[in-house]
Chains A and B, each alone.
Chain A
Amino acid sequence: MIYTPSLLAVSVFAIFVAITLALSFYFAARTRSAQSYFAAGGNIPWFVNGVAFAGDYLSAASFLGICGMIASYGYDGFLYSIGYLAGWIVALLVIAEPLKRLGKYTFADALDSRFQSRAIKLSAGVSTLAVSLFYLIPQMVGAGALVKPLLGFPHWVGVSMVGAVVMLIVVTAGMVSTTYVQFLKGSLLVVFSALLTLMILQRGLTTKPDNPGFHPPRVTVEVDESSLGSITAADLGLEGTEILPPEGAWKDRPYLRTCDGATGLVSVWRQTPTTEGRVVFYETQTLTKTKDGRELVNGLPHGLGPGETDFYPVGNINRLPGSETETGPLGPIEFFSTLEESELMLWSKDPKVVATDDETTTIFYPQLTAGSDVLLPGKSPTFQGIRGDRLASKLNFISLMLALFGGTASLPHILIRYYTVKDQAAARKSTVVGIATIGFFYLLTLFMGLGAMTSGVIDVTSANNNMAAPLLAKSMGELLFAMISAIAFTTVLGTVSGLIVAASGAVVHDLLTSVLRLRLTDHEKVRAGKWTAVVVGFMAIGLGIVFEQMNVSFLVGWAFSVAASANLPSLVMLLFWKGTTKQGITAGILVGMFSSLAWILLSGDTYKDVYGWPAESALVPFSQPGIVTIPLGFLALVVVSLLTRSKAPAVVS
């Protein structure tokens, strides 16, 4: 779909960026020491830190990716919400307080508190960099997805803009400004998501969404499947058109093409079974690319000018319980129970294009889907295996849920937030505030996603539907769209800033001063941190451009897998097993990190989406590494610790 930039949205967006930058410059004056730059001097109030946790954590993946996935496939996106929130229980109950007690700047400090080992600092520093970069990719992809409809810029411009603004934030004031940006963004995100949810419930469900441009697809009259060989346009109720013979690439495909007698336009209809032996045809939307480089949408040139056309937004309820046309305001439980009894019109893309000598046609077609089906796990390509019998698919699902559970407490940019408060009690209380804020937001994702799914706002051409939530807001009003988009953009700024601070802390504190043993003054440490932030910022921009086509939730799943495999074993074993040695910790981190990265690079999803190779030829049986590589990290740590432990009893802090 072609998006036209709105002046209001651009203005709100500019105001948000200006406030963010003003905060940074204000706090820049207070940031003088390394402690202040990397850990905000340990002076952040616990409540602010708690909401900043939410600002840090509720990234583009949470807001755009989860809502997009729910809007596309229903409950499956909510599985991410459940897993992400569950991870906070590990962070609060197992990791938070010991980490605060043992460390100062980075989580490598905590790991190294007993051993003073350069190998631990090196491996933990490298793992922090790897996880931060992996996590940066979806944030930058999300930024590009947002800026495209908001400002009308191409993806790479959006990614570059975020990179530039974030570098400015981080270079000016480090962790203090990053914290307040995250506090601001976390608060706004939750408040406006709640507002959007209230509006969804107030509007209720309807079979005729009034979103501009939306209309239900045209449908023929029902006919006998056995009569299809000799059927005429009049039999289908399509008077004034002529059925084109299914020749060449159109042969043996479930489509029927008609040519309008007045306009000469060709429409493509998809055969859809109804009851036993009966079928109807739904009109599809098509994107045709000709050999001479033209793009046709539904037979007309793609554009918004005269004689041109664009895809129309889709997604609606086909039938409500009792054949009503609208429900009126609904309570939260009624919202789900009504959806359970409804029938939805969802759209899919035919993975097989129709290719002739002169052109290729991609077809987007509507499908009637039971509401009860989208409220269950297993509808998306990512999780559909759990409805089948294949063990590898079930293990893939369990593996992802395990990575989400263990990954939160292993994310370096979350862990460093424990060093911005004064003591363990503050660390604990800020985590509780974080859980309350984040949990509340995740409850809202299901309403927002399902609201988008049924409001006639879905862009059929978007592979990942990352824009579902902002487009839903747009259907409620331009101002809400402007606010939600600007908040989502600030969301990206907040999370990316936190990741870059984490990465630069790892480079300066772990790698330069601890591993290379450079003697840096406080001032030099801050300067080195700022240079690192610039370098990491440019790397993030490059990666954000390369990975444009991937769903951000999916990418975050991988970041969690690497984090959980590399960092969780060493964190947990250091805290709970006296036999842990420095060699064991180093081995656990390296084995977890490299095995999870290798698994991802050899997986079917990477083959398909990154290399463009067939997924079946992948070397590992399923895509999510956690179920194998997290235990592998633990195993490596234990075995190496047993092999290297000295006869003297270990000193336990």
Chain B
Amino acid sequence: MVGLDHHGAEGETDHDDVRNAGRNARYGLVLFCFYLVLYAAFVLASAFRPEWMAERPWAGVNLAIWYGFGLIGFALALALAYSWLCRGRVES
């Protein structure tokens, strides 16, 4: 896994490093907002525009399935991206 391979610089002293924690929290929040928007759009579309979910945009498979699989796949992509962004330590 790409993101997980870049962890060599981090060690046991990480827990004391407020700067690292602040940087990681900022990355975390930005990525979280991306996901929140996509998830909220899925929930709201399912609730108020269920007919959209019946559309078959590609390969004869409906949007509900593509979107559901996409949300799961995107979660993993974000997790790897976050792990990659948080590699190494902040230089003072």
CB of A435 closer than 8 Å to a CB of B: yes
Contact A85 B75 (CB under 8 A): yes
Contact A340 B32 (CB under 8 A): no
CB of A191 closer than 8 Å to a CB of B: no
B9 to chain A, nearest CB (A): 9
Q: Which of B43-64 contact A (CB under 8 A)?
A: 43-44, 46-48, 50, 53-54, 56, 59-62, 64
* A428-B7 Cα distance, complex, nearest whole Å: 11
CB of A255 closer than 8 Å to a CB of B: no
Contact with A along B55-87 (1 / 0, CB 8 A): 010011110110011011101101110110010
Query: A89-B75, A97-B21, A340-B61 in contact; A422/B28 too (CB < 8 A)?
Result: no
B29 partner residues in chain A, CB cutoff 8 A: 93-94
* A377-B7 Cα distance, complex, nearest whole Å: 41
Contact A431 B79 (CB under 8 A): yes
Q: Which of A415-431 contact B (CB under 8 A)?
A: 422-425, 428-429, 431
A335 to chain B, nearest CB (A): 9
A378 partner residues in chain B, CB cutoff 8 A: 46, 50
Contact-size category for A: 35 or more
Contact with B along A360-373 (1 / 0, CB 8 A): 00000000000010
* A236-B35 Cα distance, complex, nearest whole Å: 57
Contact-size category for B: 35 or more
CB of A439 closer than 8 Å to a CB of B: yes
CB of A386 closer than 8 Å to a CB of B: yes
CB of B91 closer than 8 Å to a CB of A: no
Contact B76 A439 (CB under 8 A): yes
- Which residue in chain A gives the minimum CB-CB distance to B43? A401
Contact A386 B10 (CB under 8 A): no
B40 to chain A, nearest CB (A): 9
A440 to chain B, nearest CB (A): 8
Contact of B53 among A94, A377, A432, A433 (CB under 8 A): A377
Contact B65 A377 (CB under 8 A): no
Query: A93-B32, A340-B61 in contact; A377/B75 too (CB < 8 A)?
Result: no
Contact A336 B65 (CB under 8 A): yes
Contact A94 B32 (CB under 8 A): yes
* A439-B73 Cα distance, complex, nearest whole Å: 7
CB of A481 closer than 8 Å to a CB of B: no
Query: Please, could you name 28 A-B residue pairs with CB atoms under 8 Å apart, sorted by A?
Result: A82-B42, A82-B68, A89-B32, A89-B35, A89-B75, A93-B35, A94-B28, A97-B24, A97-B25, A98-B25, A336-B60, A340-B56, A372-B54, A375-B64, A376-B62, A377-B53, A386-B46, A394-B47, A394-B48, A398-B47, A401-B39, A423-B15, A424-B14, A425-B7, A431-B79, A433-B4, A436-B76, A575-B25
Q: Which residues of A contact B (CB under 8 A)?
A: 75, 78-79, 81-82, 85-86, 88-90, 92-94, 97-98, 100-101, 333, 336-337, 340-341, 372, 375-378, 386-387, 394, 397-398, 401-402, 405, 422-425, 428-429, 431-433, 435-436, 439, 442-443, 446, 575
Q: Which residues of B contact A (CB under 8 A)?
A: 1, 3-4, 7, 10-12, 14-15, 21, 24-25, 27-29, 31-32, 35, 39, 42-44, 46-48, 50, 53-54, 56, 59-62, 64-65, 68-69, 71-73, 75-76, 78-80, 82-83, 86
